[in-house]
Structure formats: structure tokens, C-alpha cells
A and B are shown apart, each in its own frame.
Chain A
């Protein structure tokens, strides 16, 4: 399975080579999609992990033991679909194809698995229906 997670590092654990241990000790396929990390300050990292469910669970426990906060990417994106008029403005700026229009129903389809948390949809939506935060 694949999982997209946002890892939040603090001043205390930002210097640890945590990605290395994820790969070496848990044999995960790790893809870093976005990172905003500052030495001595901490920051956030968007990571896609691929592996079996059990191993991913174990690796998340490892991250937590190192005081790395782990958040599922979809908890960082809020889309008030009930107010959406399905204009398509967000699809104009979504480069990953996470937001698209279904050509049969003409409704927006939001595939959060593809989202890179870039936040452009929040800028483009004329009704301000998106709230996206990469950091805290």
C-alpha cells in the first residue's frame, strides 16, 4: 500500500537521519514530495511511503517514538464540497491531477491521494472553499 504523510519535525529531532532509518530498518519505498525543513528549527516533510500495511504501521510507531508528529495528508486539506458550484477554477492550477472534473457529471473529483499540498487550489477557488496547510 501507499500512504502520503506529513512529518512534522521539531528543533529536537530535525538533525536525526530519520528517512535513512525508515528505508534501512523498514524496507520502505520512500518518496519525498515536498520539504520545508530548517536546521535548529524543525519543519515539515511530505512523504509517500510504499510497503505492506504492517510495516507502515511499525514505521509510524518508530516516527512517533522519535517525537515526529505524523499526519495523514488528507487531514491537512479541507474542501467544502457542499458549497461548490463546480466551475473548474481549481482544476486549472492542480498540476498533479488530484482535482479534476468528471466529464459525465461535471462535478469536481478530489483524489487526495495525488495531492501535493501545494495550496494553489486555495488561491484559485473563487468561493474560497479550500483550506490547505502544509505546516501547523
Chain B
């Protein structure tokens, strides 16, 4: 008997309040006792979650027109530059952009403050034109006064990420935290068996148009993320062992929650932003049942040395060891620490589960699959 289910059948169950929804952690535990075919029959949707620093994030804002109007060319929000090279009162504020006068405050902080309903100082200048005669403006905005604030993140939700260690003789200040010399600590930033793209490694159910949990609201997968790479090596279960697929995601910032979006500052690295992403995986067949059942010990990732130029791969480990607190590298036991919040990742998977159970959230088939065959170009330095 086929255990295959369509998206429509699953949505019908969600509407009737009969869908069986589990988090990826719960289904991983279930897999110790049940076979994939049994899980495929029993479970309809599996929810995932991650809450991690994702630098490639930002918001499009439309400020509304003043009288007389201005075509904002140079835009500052709380003294953080936003990109104004689009239409008159549209701008893009990137999360990692730092303020003109300090390095520990940036776009991410402005985005979090906007979301929290705080007032933000807007300053903009322009050369003045017949359509837009005003040359400068200085005012106060907040999320109620502006038209749209669209969170549009070009690269989020990395499918796996390498562990960082440091072989050098000095402490390194990185986006993977403070790395002590002589391999004295190791940091990682993936929620293991809860991580969205590790539960559907072939991206069969996730694609353009997939509805997702995005920082507390319903958002969507807009496109593949930048640096999307399908050529990364995979383990025997078909799971990439390093940073492979990525997602570009979009949603309405005004509907999001500051509980699931946090500005971050990493000393001597810069500003970043914690984004919360949860993706529902419909258990459409036995193969998907198998992939959502994956456990931390089965998900491997490479270890990279940030103390050597190019961050070469120097080993491999799995998420059970990472979460237990120690990894082995060349006979040495290294203490591990997470850079992403498992606490919040769990909260996200639970929240999404409850949304689906209460029919507040339906699953949908991708409008288009993500690419199957991509690799990365590096930037060559040349004069012609």
C-alpha cells in the first residue's frame, strides 16, 4: 500500500484539525521505534527551527512622501546609512551596516528597534529635481508611520555549516565567536536535527513560494539563497556535510516579533542579526519520512581551521558530539559551544507546530523547485 500523501490531503487534515504534527526532534525520537513507512502513515507534518546570526538580511522601507517631496539619495536611520539608489522614498537597510560614528551599532539594531515600535531618526539628502524639489529632510519615523517594511534576506538558513576552530597562536574574533588559540574551543551554528534544510536534504518539499515561520510571522521562500551550492559533498544518508543550500526569504516585518529577531554585535567582527526560521516539512512519502527522522549523530559537518588562510577543512564530526559538548580532533578533546540558540530553535518548531494544529498555517507546494545543479564561482582579480 502506498503511503504517499498529497499537499492537498495534508491541508484537508489540517483544516479538519486531524493533522498529526510533530517537531523534528519528536520525530527523530519516534524513529528509534518506528520504521519510515510507519512514520509516513502516522505523521503529516514535521516542523523545524533555527535561530542563528544571519548576516545577509535587511529590510526594504517605504517612508511615504513629504510635501514638497524628496528623492532620498543619501539616507541615514539613527545615523546608519541605508541604500537609497531605488525609487524616491524606498531604501534598503542592511543588517550589517554600521553607524557613521560607532562600530557596535548598525542596521540590525535599527531593524530590531523598528520592529519593537521605537522611534527612529531619519535624515536624507538629495540634489533636488523638478519632480522632487526638496533637498533635505530630517524627521522621526516608526513602524506605524512608514508604509511597508519588507524583510528580504538574500541568504539565510544555511543547510549545515562548518565547525570553527583556531590553530593559530592568538585569539581570533570571528562571526563564529571568539576562537581561542591552539584549538582550545570549537564553535558551531546549526540546530542539528531541528535545522530546516537538513530535514529535507534534497529540497523536495521546499522551494520558491514555500510558506515558512519567519521571525514570528508567516513569510515565504522567495528564491534560492545566494551562494547556493548543490555540489557540496554528502554523507551516506545524502546529507551535505558542509554549507550547501541557502534560502532567500521574505516577509512583513511589521507582523514579526522581537522575540524572534535580535540585533547582535560581535566584537572586532561587527554587527549581525539573529533571524528565526521554521519550515514545515509535509511527510508526503516514505523518503521524506526517512529524511525527517534523521538524528544528530547521523548529521555530520566538517571542522574548519580559522587560524589558516582559506579556513581549510581539517576534520569531521557530528551534531551529537557537538551538542554533548566535546569533539575529538587529532586525538585532542575540544570543548564546543553553539552560536545559534537551540532554545529558540525549539520554540520556533513548537510555535509552528501549534499554528498548523490550530489551522492558522497551511502548507503549500513550491511554485518552482530550487536549482539542482549549482556550484560557486570565486572572485578572480584581473585588470581586463
Contact = CB atoms under 8 A, between A and B. Distances in A.
Contacts of B325: 103
A60 interface: no
A18 interface: no
A120 B187 CA distance: 15
Interface string A96-130: 00000101011100000000000010011011100
A127 B274 CA distance: 10
B262 A107 contact: no
B343 A92 contact: no
Interface stretch (A34-42, A50-58, A81-89): A81-89
A107 B178 contact: no
B264 interface: yes
A88 B338 contact: yes
A85 B344 CA distance: 7
A92 B185 contact: yes
Given A124-B178, A124-B267, A126-B266, A88 B339 contact: yes
A8 interface: no
Contacts of A106: 341-343, 346
What band does the interface of chain B fall in when counting residues whose beta carbon is under 8 Å from A?
A: 20 to 34
A87 B265 CA distance: 13
B178 A93 contact: yes
Interface string B120-138: 0000000000000000000
Nearest to A108: B343
A87 B324 CA distance: 15
B342 A86 contact: yes
A101 B323 CA distance: 10
A126 B187 CA distance: 14
B48 interface: no
A91 B53 contact: no
Given A89-B337, A89-B339, A103 B265 contact: no
A2 B6 CA distance: 64
A107 B180 contact: no
Contacts, number: 69
A85 B177 contact: no
A93 B185 contact: yes
A92 B187 contact: yes
Chain A interface main SS type: loop
A114 to B, nearest CB: 15
B178 A92 contact: yes
A103 B274 CA distance: 21
Nearest to B264: A126
B161 interface: no
Given A124-B177, A124-B267, A126-B264, A91 B337 contact: yes
B51 interface: yes
Contacts of A107: 343
B338 to A, nearest CB: 4
A117 B141 CA distance: 41
A126 B343 contact: no
A85 B267 contact: no
B340 interface: yes
B340 A87 contact: yes
A126 B341 contact: no
Interface string B266-279: 11000010100000
A101 B51 CA distance: 16
A103 B342 CA distance: 10
Contact of B323 (A86, A103, A126, A127): A103
Interface in B258-305: 262-267, 272, 274
B68 to A, nearest CB: 42
Given A92-B185, A105-B343, A127 B337 contact: no
A88 B272 CA distance: 16
B341 A87 contact: yes
A123 B344 contact: no
B363 to A, nearest CB: 27
Q: Which 4 A-B pairs have the closest CB atoms?
A: A92-B337, A126-B264, A88-B338, A86-B343
Interface of A: 85-89, 91-93, 101, 103, 105-107, 120, 123-124, 126-128
